[in-house]
Chains A and B, each alone.
Chain A
């Protein structure tokens, strides 16, 4: 069921706090992506990374930060600058050398209290 894991499944944050969402994959995929999903909307791209130590902003990067120190891991930090962080966050990965299909993790539901 995937090879991509996300933790935690549920996360509660107080206003003003930074939180980090974990994404790990054992598929040996080069590319990884972070999406945000809000009710009634499609997935919107936050950040993506094609290789280790390299990443680019997506469509809604403001208030988020990422790192890519290892091929297997692509953590997302939701900072206090993100004005409306309550959402469902999905991580995905892709085998850059083969196909365009992205494989998704199970998601993290973040709620700001």
Chain B
């Protein structure tokens, strides 16, 4: 089955800095790559996603890049703000039954 590895597990930045989280996956058939943000005790919420026919997608301060050949994708957050502090999960999907396989999560802390 699919295996998704996410790094780093924790990331601490100063407000205004950029943050980058990386994920690698094993199943070359995966073609959907979402990123979820989860605040403490809350539900995960989709912040951005990308499909395998696209190499990069941006939405204001966040962007995702995908390298299908190398089987890795990354989340980039620019001009970080304290409210960006949360756990971020990558996932892969698009194959059988819409199942998603999640990475282990990255705890992002943005210091004012």
Instruction: Report which A residues bind B (CB closer than 8 A).
Output: 2, 31, 33, 35, 40-45, 48, 50, 56, 58-59, 90, 94, 96, 100-102, 104-107
Q: A40-B9, A101-B34 are in contact. Are A106 and B100 (CB under 8 A)?
A: no
Which one of B32, B97, B100, B104 lies within 8 Å of A41 (CB-CB)?
B104
Contacts of A94 in B (CB 8 A): 98
Interface size class, chain B:
20 to 34
Those of B1-30 within 8 Å (CB) of chain A? 1, 4, 6, 9
Complex formed: what's the CA distance from A42 to B9 in Å? 11
Digit string of B36-55 for contact with A (CB within 8 Å is 1, else 0)?
Answer: 00000111111001000000
Residue of B nearest to A59 (CB): B1
- Contacts of A59 on B, CB cut-off 8 Å? 1
Cβ 8 A contact of A96, one of B1, B43, B45, B98? B98
* Interchain residue pairs with CB less than 8 A apart (30): A33-B99, A33-B100, A40-B104, A40-B105, A42-B103, A42-B105, A43-B102, A44-B102, A45-B100, A48-B98, A48-B99, A50-B97, A50-B98, A58-B99, A90-B43, A94-B98, A100-B32, A100-B34, A100-B49, A100-B94, A101-B46, A101-B49, A102-B46, A102-B98, A102-B100, A104-B43, A105-B43, A106-B43, A107-B41, A107-B42
